[in-house]
Structure 1
């Protein structure tokens, strides 16, 4: 993400063995931000942001399947060393994957899909050092997102560097290649042919999470083990489908409401929640932004996170936590992707300024994020 101040231009996110911390009240691995840190000097917003480095949204397939490897029968290593003949991927649409027409564990190619996000670090494994990257995809040719039109695609990249304390640092794609199958500069509107393996995933320990985490009882459909991505063009980005009123609570529901396959249909889709929207104040300090950058909407209980745009240690304010020092904020709308944040269904905005109305204080002070 690039940022600029007005008048100034400049450059201013796993599998079962992975360590996923940073949701449901857990402290994320390697998060050293003190309480009150907002992602920019002098900010005070509560307990800081989440950090996409440790957030979990998927299994990514078998750990060790690197971008340079193939989704092979047998095993494929993070360094691209596979064994056996690669399976033949069948062509499938996002709708066929998310409705279950194509079952779990099937090698598929989704052709002509539209990137809806930049690449972001989904998770990292303290045990293996693996780094899992994700991109949200949309079905082509639609003016507005709809049920079963979106999916999260996942690909392992270069293994991270482990320090003496066992902390893993994955590549910073502003400075070095991630080494996964997706181009480092993939952006919304890119049209892609993507080859991977269908997955139906949630962390194994969701039933052990505390009730306040609102842990899911349903899984998220994904395109995991992505090993091949081809850029074939560009296309307009569909506008987000609007949820309002009582329907907003469905996005936060731990199970499918009213017998619908709701999360199969809307998991991975960019949507808009329409206001008026008020926050539930959090913590002893009663702040808008609580633990690890999360906002919780009053009434619906929907968690709004910062896992896509927050980058730990970045001095770019576009990569900092949302900044809402006043508790009187009321949003007209918030845009984001419906996805699992570890075991909790959440809304994850892509852009901390453009995806909120009103945006946070640092955005209204002149910060524009792209």
Structure 2
């Protein structure tokens, strides 16, 4: 029997309003940022990408010289000092994610393998556009614990004709950050950046500071607001566990191309850990790693504002039974995209059963979720607009 989850479709907009007036929490699907962070919900700040999430940038750290966006590039945009940067320490992904290499250490990762395309992460309050690429340890045939990490680079935001600060759309413009714009899974990279750890105490309570009576707008009601926030606390509690990253990217050099490793298939016990707020060891080991959940997998149906049951909820998220596990479109979604590959998933059949889902374990601001890089190849069955060609978005 299918499960139903009521009201989550409209809460993203509600939470965006709450954040804009300084109401902390209320991040049911990981799609809005905490108070004090600039930018708008999905689609209005250039990329959108499942909403404007903060995926671990912060405003501190070191900055280098600006890069030129080529195959070998140097620097992280957003300003630069005159001090010589510290020498990079040779390190592996495993050394970073197990704490052997301390946080805030400038490191060089040699020969790591890109596991995703470049995607929009966030727009910071200082006017920096953040771009992410998931990378894996070299010489693997299958992913494993402590072999993956998110690398986050920066470029300067633009000002559009309306005076709004925006980031370029990757579908048709250069990001201007150190990563090549056409970086693709299998590219072998040498990366120099700084080790960081993203976590936020702002998500400890789903709606702790939200006044549902004051902030609810049609078609939302105060009762629905309370119900949605309460239903989201279980997922949001996972945000207490942070994610290791390599940030403040100084340089990226592409040195070759290989077949990327296949995703590790999570066991039933590991899938349960994915939905547990106390499994810090699991998230530290598997955060940033591409993994696979095998089916049969039933979606948790939601009810939209028109009273219809839907598979795909707000911001392109799909919730799977047995966790719960949230599957998002953060990596491949581009706000205002023309091509199907950069739009949210489409599943009109509420009786769909998923055979598998491949994706990266990612702390998408408030929720640890599974994020496919390709809605046609990483999900079986693929999104309906992939037609019969599962390779169309490669």
Structure-1-length-normalised TM-score: 0.81
Q: Deviations over 1:299-328 (max 9, x none)?
A: 211100001111111121111111100110
- Tell me what 2:130 maps to: 132
- Tell me what 2:302 maps to: 282
Q: What 5-or-longer segments of structure 1 have no aligned partner? A: 1-17, 34-48, 70-75
- Tell me what 2:113 maps to: 114
Matched ranges for 1:61-72 at <5 A: 62=60, 65=63, 68=66
Question: What secondary structure, in the 3-state scheme, does the structure 2 residue paired with 1:199 have?
Answer: strand
- Tell me what 1:147 maps to: 145
In structure 2, the CA distance between the partners of 1:60 and 1:156, relative to structure 1 (3 Å rule), is farther
Whether the 8 Å CA contact 1:272–1:334 is kept in 2: the answer is yes
Question: What secondary structure, in the 3-state scheme, does the structure 1 residue paired with 2:151 have?
Answer: strand
In structure 2, the CA distance between the partners of 1:171 and 1:66, relative to structure 1 (3 Å rule), is farther
Matched ranges for 1:45-124 at <5 A: 51-52=49-50, 54-59=52-57, 62=60, 65=63, 68=66, 78-124=77-123
In structure 2, the CA distance between the partners of 1:221 and 1:79, relative to structure 1 (3 Å rule), is closer
The 10-residue stretch of structure 1 (235-244 or 208-217) with the greater mean CA deviation from structure 2: 208-217
The 10-residue stretch of structure 1 (237-246 or 273-282) with the greater mean CA deviation from structure 2: 237-246
Structure-2-length-normalised TM-score: 0.76
State the Cα distance separating 1:217 from its structure 2 match: 1.3
1:317 to 2:317 alignment: no
Question: What secondary structure, in the 3-state scheme, does the structure 2 residue paired with 1:282 have?
Answer: strand
- Residue in structure 2 matching 1:269, options 249, 264, 289: 289
Structure 1 or 2: larger helix share? 2
Q: Deviations over 1:2-44 (max 9, x none)?
A: xxxxxxxxxxxxxxxx9999952576524469xxxxxxxxxxx
The 10-residue stretch of structure 1 (239-248 or 187-196) with the greater mean CA deviation from structure 2: 239-248
The number of residues matched between the two structures is 327
Whether the 8 Å CA contact 1:334–1:349 is kept in 2: the answer is yes
Q: Deviations over 1:91-148 (max 9, x none)?
A: 00000000001111111111110011111010013x3322100100100011000000
Q: Deviations over 1:160-212 (max 9, x none)?
A: 32564x74321123333211111111111111110111111123412133451
In structure 2, the CA distance between the partners of 1:136 and 1:326, relative to structure 1 (3 Å rule), is same
How many angstroms apart in 1 are the aligned matches of 2:88 and 2:138? 20
Question: What secondary structure, in the 3-state scheme, does the structure 1 residue paired with 2:204 have?
Answer: helix
- Residue in structure 1 matching 2:192, options 185, 192, 195: 195
Whether the 8 Å CA contact 2:49–2:330 is kept in 1: the answer is yes
- Residue in structure 2 matching 1:233, options 256, 259, 268: 256
- Tell me what 1:369 maps to: 393
How many angstroms apart in 1 are the aligned matches of 2:385 and 2:76? 43
- Residue in structure 2 matching 1:339, options 338, 362, 367: 362
Moved over 4 A (4+): 18-23, 25-28
Q: What 5-or-longer segments of structure 2 have no aligned partner? A: 1-19, 33-39, 68-74, 208-229
Whether the 8 Å CA contact 1:55–1:122 is kept in 2: the answer is yes
In structure 2, the CA distance between the partners of 1:136 and 1:32, relative to structure 1 (3 Å rule), is closer
- Tell me what 2:322 maps to: 299
C-alpha RMSD of the superposition: 2.8
Whether the 8 Å CA contact 1:111–1:193 is kept in 2: the answer is yes
How many angstroms apart in 2 are the aligned matches of 1:84 and 1:22? 41
